[in-house]
């Protein structure tokens, strides 16, 4: 389900025209055609550091919690 959340966050960010960069193990999982690594967390970076993105990300994660993609947000 975390992969579903990652893909949903990327799609929602793109639609909202907000910069969104996966990094670390998450990018290694999503970039190759055949995943070679399991990432158990979601590593993201937000260029520009504006507060609007944190609000957007919080709203998207809350929506995913309601859809049961994610059960805990730490």
Sequence spans of domains, the chain: 2-66
pLDDT at 27: 65
Q: What is the pTM of this model?
A: 0.47
pLDDT at 59: 77
Encoding tokens for residue 11? 């799609």
For residue 21, what are the β-bridge partners?
45
**Each residue of 15-62: pLDDT tens digit?**
877 766 767 776 666 666 766 666 666 666 666 656 666 777 777 777
| Alpha carbon distance 22, 10 (integer Å) | 9
pLDDT at 73 over 60: no
Could you give the 3-state DSSP secondary structure of residue 52?
A: helix
């Amino acid at each position: 389900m975390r992969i579903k959340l990652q893909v949903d966050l990327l799609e929602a960010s793109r639609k909202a025209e907000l910069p969104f960069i996966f990094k670390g193990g998450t990018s290694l999982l999503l970039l190759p055609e055949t995943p070679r690594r399991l990432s158990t967390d979601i590593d993201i970076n937000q260029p520009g550091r504006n507060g609007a993105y944190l609000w957007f990300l919080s709203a998207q994660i809350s929506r995913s919690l309601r859809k049961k993609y994610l059960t805990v947000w730490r």
